[in-house]
Structure 1
Amino acid sequence: MAIVEKTGFEDGAFRVSEAQAGDYVELLKPRVMSLVVFTAFVGLVTAQTSVNPFIAIFSILAIAVGAGASGALNMWYDADIDAIMTRTATRPVPSGRVLPGEALIFGLFLSAFSVMTLGLVANWLAASLLAFTIFFYAVIYTMWLKRWTPQNIVIGGAAGAFPPIIGWAAATGQIGLESVIQFLIIFLWTPPHFWALALFKSADYGRAGVPMLPNVAGEASTKRQIFAYTLLVAVVGVLPTVLGHASLGYGIVAGALGIGFVWYAWKVLAMPEIDRVMRPAKALFGYSLLYLFAVFAALLVDSVIARVGIAGW
């Protein structure tokens, strides 16, 4: 019966919805996909290897499709809790615009297509990493960690951190230390980003029964852990310069962005527990998005400048 409810198969028949194209686009989580595409592109470019434009373009497209497949599978499985939360209730599956079975088939097809495409266009190391990332997000995180442990975001954050490594592998056929550092930046950035959201959406997560840290460990513990992870992100963000992988210019930019991140996290740490508006948490959530895009943009610019040989940066 659980399988029937999850897939949309009822009494041996399969119902077909009247979903529009835009509903399937929404299944791909385009905002999340944009971050995946950007960080994968940075990983590919910072590899400092000459890549055929055809291979580069289709590799990034395959990674984007793989990210969308993960989103579709996540929305298929999470339809029950998405329907309860105000932030997600209007998504295609819980709203009934797309049937669960359609979302499942769509996600599985895109998963296979993206992995095969990346393997044939680039190399099978990159394709294997993409396949593992989809599996990790859809199965390990969505089906297990998210509903089981308040550390779901910490461990599950690995899925969102793999794109730079996949991009690097697509360009080089290897995994480089620089791409691992980029992985660490995203991996350590994920907890403060999502825990800031969880602070002002704790009632939503509570109704859905998702054990997010504020609901399990309390607001005070969450704020302390946000601050601790933010300190780690600020330090790891400048490692490319410290290790000689990026210029001093990048290090200054990353350092300034890290100080800003720590400042916003400090404001959350000092936030009174009686503050129901939670403006500091909302501000941190917004700044965290700016931080990640800006740090990876700085890496991209630094790599391009190094490639064309412009001095003084």
Structure 2
Amino acid sequence: MVTALRRISNVFKLRIGVAITLCAIAGMAATPGTSLSPEEIAVLAFAVFLSSASAGAFNQYAERDLDARMHRTRNRPFVTGVFKTGWAWLSCIVGILVFSVALAAWVLNAHVALYVFLGAFFYGVVYTIWLKQRSVWNIVIGGLAGSFAVLAGAAAVTPHLAASSIILALVLFLWTPPHFWSLATVLREDYARAGVPMLPVVVGDATAAWIILAHTVALAGFSLLPVFFGMGYVYLAGAVAGGSYFIIKSVELVREPGPKAARANFRASFVQLGLLLVAAIIDGALNF
């Protein structure tokens, strides 16, 4: 039973789904407008979580041949054959996405439903199918999935997006590349063997480290801007603490480019995002 649950969590990438859901709640909290009922907040979270899960499962379904060529992913259920590919799984994945979009449209509004769909589409199709094995820009454009989650949360409050929520969506867009490029530095040889043009594979660890630092500095800077559009001191504290820590680790990566510092920077990206999102949610609750 435990093994089966782990496989389901792996295929649907439920940990990523939790992070994406927090992005939506933070987008809601950062947006001035009509307050949502607890039931509406639950629907928003559930719809975004299901949409992310469907995109994660489609990613593993579509990439099973690629996953088989990589040490990190060669034991995923679609690779090993524990989960059989076919119409049953595809119908399940599409059904979950359709249900999540329909639920968002029915309980919330069409704008939320559109952003819920676009988040899954950009991760499942734009990133996974079109870009990942073709372009070094794969994760840059594919990273819009997190931004759409923020916009979904904001649109649940008002379809006319506020400046603070748009900036927060931009922050998520800037967060994804240094986060993933740090991981790609750790796994550079794995990606190289599989023929995936991740940034460190294409330009090397040292150049990638400088690009990661530049993105991190831009991310930290933009994360402060919502303070000028209504966010308070709790948000500011989270943005400053998380951004500073991420920059420090990115500087260390520039000084010693390689897997060890990249792994530390990858972890720092989670710290930065976690502090930012939790601070945004708390700040929104205090200003309620």
Partner of 2:150: 164
Change (3 A) 1:199 1:52: same
1:91 aligns to 2:72 (yes or no): no
Partner of 1:13: none
Displacement of 1:21:
5.5
**Is the 1:23–1:97 Cα contact (8 Å) retained in structure 2?**
no
Partner of 2:261: 280
- Deviation per CA, 1:162-209: give whole Å up to 9, x if none: 111101112323322221111111111111111111111011111211
Aligned mate of 1:50, from 35, 38, 43: 35
Q: What does residue range 1-313 of structure 1 map to in structure 2 within 5 Å?
A: 20=4, 22-48=6-32, 49-101=34-86, 102-241=88-227, 243-271=228-256, 278-307=259-288
Unaligned runs of 5+ in 2: none
CA–CA distance in structure 1, aligned partners of residues 70 and 18 of structure 2: 24
Give me the TM-score of the superposition, normalised by structure 1: 0.86
**Is the 1:23–1:98 Cα contact (8 Å) retained in structure 2?**
no
Corresponding letter in the other structure for 1:181: I
CA–CA distance in structure 2, aligned partners of residues 145 and 300 of structure 1: 33
CA–CA distance in structure 1, aligned partners of residues 235 and 157 of structure 2: 22
Aligned-partner SS, 2:80: coil
Q: What's the RMSD between the two structures over aligned residues? A: 1.7
Give me the TM-score of the superposition, normalised by structure 2: 0.93
Displacement of 1:284:
0.5
Corresponding letter in the other structure for 2:172: I
Corresponding letter in the other structure for 1:141: Y
Change (3 A) 1:172 1:115: same
Alignment size in residue pairs: 284
Aligned-partner SS, 1:148: coil
Change (3 A) 1:62 1:134: same
**Is the 2:163–2:229 Cα contact (8 Å) retained in structure 1?**
no
Partner of 1:9: none
**Is the 1:268–1:281 Cα contact (8 Å) retained in structure 2?**
yes
Displacement of 1:227:
0.7
Aligned-partner SS, 1:40: helix
Greater percentage in helix: 2
CA–CA distance in structure 1, aligned partners of residues 156 and 238 of structure 2: 27
CA–CA distance in structure 2, aligned partners of residues 85 and 40 of structure 1: 32
Change (3 A) 1:106 1:25: farther
